[in-house]
Amino acid sequence: MKSDGSPAITGTEDRISFSGDFATLTKARLSLLVVFTTAIGFCVGSEGALSWMDLIVAILGTSLTAASAGALNQWLESDVDQLMERTKGRPLAAGRWSRGFGLAVGVVLGSVGIVMLWWRLPRAAALFAIATIAVYLLVYTPLKRRSAWCVLVGAVSGALPPVIGWSATGSRETWLAWVLFGILFCWQMPHFLAIAWMYRDEYRQAGFVMLKSDDEDGLATATQALSFAILLAIVTLVPVFLGQASALYRIGAVVLNVLFCGAAVVFLVERSRVSARRLFFMSIIYLPLILSLLAFTRRF
């Protein structure tokens, strides 16, 4: 490591270590979700032939801003990350990289991403990207230590990437943007509530208020997860109500929502780590399938 705390690359092993730490700092796995949802938003919003260059710029720009938010979040929370088993190995928390280097990575990635979106696409795309970073860092991150409302705020930030993809097309069908936002927003609630319940002790130890303080038996958490699963089902059926969905989408949406709501009901009844994990994995399966169905309906 260099004297300024930035990593020094001296060989193959160091390059592998650097790549892994960089992926952790920028939350690369989350960026994969951003890539997918941005692409879906672009495909849903496009009319006629896709502009591949615009699609690439939308994906790259949005991914860079999401990576920036991840890095800057760890820069802000490196001290707290040291207290949690699942985060103490992160490069800033473990001290392998300096906080200054993490800040620089976040600022550079965010700046490049926003400039790309502003340069090539409608201004709304860049503005939504700026809003994503602002909500995540200025509202969600500090609120995590104060109120369980942080989960709702975080869901707002996480629901914007497909809207960025939609706005990149210049589409005027605003109902599509609201459906995309609604799907991601509602989906994140049972998804993250399941995570918060599984790791509630670690979050509490680190000083994060991810769940209601008086919800020791998980009834309020599981009820909230089921409520948003039902609301999600309603949002996904909006294209059906508007006559914009194929028979394939109608059938697929009903089946997926029954399965997802079923997992939420099991979590409500059992309120165990096992049922929370099942809901979490069901959410991972549900989202790409429902969004793919929506995009397929719009394109074919």
pLDDT digit string (tens) for 236-272?
999 999 988 889 999 999 999 999 999 999 999 999 9
Taking phi first (over 0 means left), then psi (-120 to 50 degrees means alpha), and beta for anything else, what does residue 179 get?
Answer: alpha
* Predicted confidence (pLDDT) at residue 79 exceeds the cutoff of 80: yes
**CA dist., res. 167 & res. 41, Å (int):** 8
Contact 40, 295 (CB under 8 A): yes
Among candidate residues 62, 290, 39, the one with its CA nearest the CA of residue 183:
290
Candidate from 28-42, 50-64, 84-98, 207-221 with smallest mean pLDDT: 207-221
The reported pLDDT for the residue numbered 9 is 46
The reported pLDDT for the residue numbered 14 is 58
* Predicted confidence (pLDDT) at residue 89 exceeds the cutoff of 60: yes
The reported pLDDT for the residue numbered 268 is 96
Within 13 Å, how many C-alpha atoms sit on residue 140's CB side?
20
- Domain positions in the chain are 12-125, 173-300
pLDDT band at 86 (very low <50, low <70, confident <90, very high): confident
**CA dist., res. 107 & res. 115, Å (int):** 12
Contact 77, 141 (CB under 8 A): yes
State the maximum Cα–Cα separation within the chain, in Å, rounded to a whole number: 62
pLDDT band at 114 (very low <50, low <70, confident <90, very high): very high
Q: Which CATH class is domain 173-300?
A: mainly alpha
Tokens of 293: 């169905």
pLDDT band at 194 (very low <50, low <70, confident <90, very high): very high
Contact 135, 157 (CB under 8 A): yes
Q: H helices then E strands: how many in the chain?
A: 15, 0
Q: What is the CA radius of gyration of the chain?
A: 20
Taking phi first (over 0 means left), then psi (-120 to 50 degrees means alpha), and beta for anything else, what does residue 27 get?
Answer: left
* Predicted confidence (pLDDT) at residue 209 exceeds the cutoff of 90: no
